[in-house]
């Protein structure tokens, strides 16, 4: 069976305390998924936790999630 996945958009924002916050852009706004101490660490975190990462800008990426087989069975 073919695998089904979807693209998401990830944004890295500056936190008020100098941290970098990795967020997923959802239909209801941004959802915080991780906090790090530098842009380089945030980008490395994204690369380590998502597949198919493509950087559109230094703080904006797309990635693949939800690799499920057709019929709802997870890998």
pLDDT digits (tens, 9 = 90+) for 15-67: 999 999 999 998 899 999 999 999 999 999 999 999 999 999 999 999 998 76
Check residues 72 and 64 and name the one with the higher pLDDT.
64
Q: So what's the pLDDT on residue 39?
A: 97
Euclidean distance between CA atoms 31 and 14, whole angstroms? 14
Instruction: For residues 1-10, give the mean pLDDT.
Output: 80
Q: So what's the pLDDT on residue 6?
A: 87
């Amino acid at each position: 069976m073919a695998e089904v996945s979807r693209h998401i958009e990830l944004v890295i924002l500056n936190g008020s305390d100098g941290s970098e916050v990795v967020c997923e852009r959802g239909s209801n706004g941004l959802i915080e998924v991780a906090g790090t101490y530098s842009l380089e660490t945030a980008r490395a975190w994204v690369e380590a936790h998502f597949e198919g990462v493509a950087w559109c800008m230094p703080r904006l990426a797309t990635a693949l999630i939800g690799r499920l087989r057709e019929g709802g069975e997870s890998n």
